[in-house]
Structure 1
């Protein structure tokens, strides 16, 4: 049986599944229910200075797929609206009652050293296992110079991280904003400031939809709205890319990463881990489906690890990083072409339409005497783009088959067709 326990930047947990700092971790009641369900840790909802912020109503909106499946989730909720004292009391008690679970406390304070100096000892006194610096919240507290207002300025990231390492002995995790051109830059700044780890991604600036009757974006507050933080399954590709960028950057290589963004099942978690994440944080999936999803996540990951022969998460964490590179280093001589399994084909014609209208006209539509359609790939025309495979509704009906070209590896920097090729 696979061992799911982790030691992430010195923080131990029975499994890598943590609840992210968000509404589900705003109070002891929720966190205890999460621990009872089997979560390995939580990041307590972001604490700030008193007086606590005031939230509005309503706060959430969504981007839907078919059958009202929530693809993306948007929120304009701020950090905790409960007092600092009450939160610290509850954190202390929960950690005392659940000593084996990871308790991380998310923090957001102004860019004033005295504020951090005053509060950090209070947080450490709770018995928490670590702190997470919220440098990513995209929509709240700018008047106090916090959230993404900090995360977008590498000098601030490094400065505050240094303060935390100076006034606190707990592991420091820096949560990065995706609302930036190059996520590697703040990650490097966090490391320069002494960060023990980074977590990413925080939410993305977004407006999910417009109420065309009232002519106002959602969520609606009276007659107005504003941009919020976007999360959920839709942001997973963006999150995976940013995790990979940090994991393969020579300047931050080896820096522990807690992966966040669209994780809803064990496979999502495994993908983040394959790109270097040592723990994963979940929010939207728990809000949509409840805390019990962690059972399926843990069981699924454990079964997959057993199948692959991985005894612990560290056995496969980061294994996909070395296979992730810049476009210019890809093999220009590698070639695949599409192949349609006629036994599985349902003759819907989606592959043909997609290829004929928008791609390379490399699929033939053949109509028999009885009007029966058949689709065949024109091997000499196929460029291996795999659009047909993506549009096909039948799994494994269309496969991309590698071709023997007789040519050795050659990347774009070596290609004679490149006017700047290295010869």
Structure 2
């Protein structure tokens, strides 16, 4: 699909001061825009942060130095491995995103940016944890009331460009969010593309902070509004676009289909689940508590994985049935091990995002994720992620079908049950009794 005409980068601005550029089809955009790499300080030597308790592999430029190939191509963009920093605190600025690339992450999604960060005012404390009752060191749930990036938009754009100059072969994804304003979305897209980002992720899913401005989940839950905004973005963008879906909705496939029908290349799911972490029984105040008060936030970490897997399964099935598998899917929700990630890929995910897991364990976690997925692949003789992506989807069906399958299995078992003892042989039914114990 050809995009409407816009002017070249650095060219004339229109009356609103926005750059207009000629648009090309997304397939025509070069995979990498920066020919010269500015080498930064050599990364520190990698190590297994779990001290031998989990598999580990060294990762150089995003590629494990040994074991099966983990690279994948998603919407024409090559990832050295499928593990992506999810939008949030681990992608707040140049320094932390650089750390992610140095440790080996296949891609980084920056914390969501908007044109006017002056409206973003965070509070602290803004996190609350749920710990295991049997092991108080184990975090099983995490709530945040954090907003999108509060850093100046111009500063973030400078850092995007710097990252792409230094890491031209690594995937940088811009998470973007705006109000219901076509001009604002178009300017946001144009400015980010000038910095060389590879993919857009549209934040239609943040469950807190800005619903009164019809942003985040408030937009993602309104299919009519979503359709219009996705249309604006699809017309303006020259690079692949993913829509990040909210789980705070009855049927996640409804907005998912709207976004894909508008022309977007893929979906990401899930964002956090609206939650209240708990109430302090001494003070009677909810957590996290700011000056005695709180507000519902977004729930993440390993406790949400079963919910995330169900939502991902629904979206992957929809993509397979309605788009013949021609749309991409990035899975998010409670991933802390390679086994977690493998489950998402078995349900059809092309990439797997991690945010809270990095906040708990640190950026070197990617080396363990890679090694653990490689162990799975070796066990099953898989040579690439394509060999097993979506392999578990065919095993989902309706409850009615499960009843039918069980009944048929019981009938087959009954027919082949055979005789329990020699006393059960009869003269009249001798041949049938014999047949009931034959295996072929």
> Shorter-normalised TM-score: what interval?
0.7 to 0.9
Pairing 1:296-307 to 2, within 5 Å after superposition: 296-307=368-379
For 1:362, the equivalent position in structure 2 comes to none
For 1:363, the equivalent position in structure 2 comes to none
2:413 to 396, 399, 404: 404
Q: Could you tell me how far apart the structure 1 residues matched to 2:264 and 2:403 are?
A: 36
Q: CA deviation at 1:216?
A: 1.3
TM-score (norm 2): 0.75
Q: Could you tell me how far apart the structure 2 residues matched to 1:31 and 1:310 are?
A: 31
Q: Could you tell me how far apart the structure 2 residues matched to 1:241 and 1:310 are?
A: 25
Pairing 1:59-70 to 2, within 5 Å after superposition: 59-65=126-132, 66-68=134-136, 69-70=138-139
Q: CA deviation at 1:251?
A: 2.7
- Are 1:188 and 1:252, in contact at CA under 8 Å, matched by a contact in 2? no
- Are 2:304 and 2:333, in contact at CA under 8 Å, matched by a contact in 1? yes
For 1:256, the equivalent position in structure 2 comes to 328
Q: Could you tell me how far apart the structure 1 residues matched to 2:117 and 2:336 are?
A: 35
Pairing 1:357-376 to 2, within 5 Å after superposition: none
For 1:371, the equivalent position in structure 2 comes to none
3-state DSSP of counterpart to 1:95: helix
- Structure 2 gap segments, 5+ residues each: 1-66, 417-440
Q: Could you tell me how far apart the structure 2 residues matched to 1:333 and 1:60 are?
A: 46
Q: Could you tell me how far apart the structure 1 residues matched to 2:324 and 2:361 are?
A: 35
2:305 to 229, 236, 259: 236
Q: Could you tell me how far apart the structure 2 residues matched to 1:252 and 1:224 are?
A: 46
- Are 1:38 and 1:294, in contact at CA under 8 Å, matched by a contact in 2? yes
Q: Could you tell me how far apart the structure 2 residues matched to 1:204 and 1:83 are?
A: 28
Higher RCO (CA < 8 A, seq sep 6+): 2
Q: CA deviation at 1:253?
A: 5.0
Q: Could you tell me how far apart the structure 1 residues matched to 2:117 and 2:389 are?
A: 42
1:143 to 212, 215, 231: 212
2:392 to 292, 295, 320: 320
1:272 to 344, 347, 351: 344
- Are 2:176 and 2:188, in contact at CA under 8 Å, matched by a contact in 1? no
3-state DSSP of counterpart to 2:406: coil
Pairing 1:183-262 to 2, within 5 Å after superposition: 183-249=252-318, 250-254=321-325, 255-262=327-334
Q: Map Cα deviations across residues 161-188 of structure 1 (whole Å, 9 max, x no partner).
A: 1111111101000000000000010010
Q: Could you tell me how far apart the structure 1 residues matched to 2:250 and 2:405 are?
A: 32
Q: CA deviation at 1:118?
A: 1.5
- Are 2:117 and 2:149, in contact at CA under 8 Å, matched by a contact in 1? no
Pairing 1:108-127 to 2, within 5 Å after superposition: 108-127=177-196
1:78 maps onto 2:144 in alignment: no
3-state DSSP of counterpart to 1:186: helix
Q: Could you tell me how far apart the structure 2 residues matched to 1:36 and 1:251 are?
A: 39
Q: Could you tell me how far apart the structure 2 residues matched to 1:82 and 1:12 are?
A: 29
Q: CA deviation at 1:332?
A: 3.8
Per mean C-alpha deviation after superposition, the further-off stretch among 325-334 and 54-63 is: 325-334
Per mean C-alpha deviation after superposition, the further-off stretch among 188-197 and 247-256 is: 247-256
Q: Map Cα deviations across residues 309-328 of structure 1 (whole Å, 9 max, x no partner).
A: 11111111011111111211
TM-score (norm 1): 0.78
- Structure 1 gap segments, 5+ residues each: 336-382, 384-402, 408-423
Over the residues paired in the alignment, what is the CA RMSD in angstroms?
A: 1.8
The 1:333–1:149 alpha-carbon spacing in structure 2 relative to 1, beyond 3 Å, is closer
Q: CA deviation at 1:144?
A: 2.1
The 1:330–1:288 alpha-carbon spacing in structure 2 relative to 1, beyond 3 Å, is same
3-state DSSP of counterpart to 2:123: coil
Q: CA deviation at 1:333?
A: 5.2
Q: Could you tell me how far apart the structure 1 residues matched to 2:180 and 2:78 are?
A: 30
Q: State the aligned residue count.
A: 343
- Are 1:60 and 1:76, in contact at CA under 8 Å, matched by a contact in 2? yes
3-state DSSP of counterpart to 1:301: helix
- Are 2:82 and 2:351, in contact at CA under 8 Å, matched by a contact in 1? yes
Q: Could you tell me how far apart the structure 1 residues matched to 2:238 and 2:225 are?
A: 20
For 1:177, the equivalent position in structure 2 comes to 246
The 1:253–1:62 alpha-carbon spacing in structure 2 relative to 1, beyond 3 Å, is farther
Q: CA deviation at 1:334?
A: 3.0
- Are 2:245 and 2:268, in contact at CA under 8 Å, matched by a contact in 1? yes
- Are 1:106 and 1:133, in contact at CA under 8 Å, matched by a contact in 2? yes
The 1:147–1:253 alpha-carbon spacing in structure 2 relative to 1, beyond 3 Å, is farther
Pairing 1:33-72 to 2, within 5 Å after superposition: 33-52=99-118, 53-65=120-132, 66-68=134-136, 69-72=138-141
Q: CA deviation at 1:405?
A: 3.8
The 1:315–1:333 alpha-carbon spacing in structure 2 relative to 1, beyond 3 Å, is closer
Q: CA deviation at 1:240?
A: 0.5
For 1:165, the equivalent position in structure 2 comes to 234
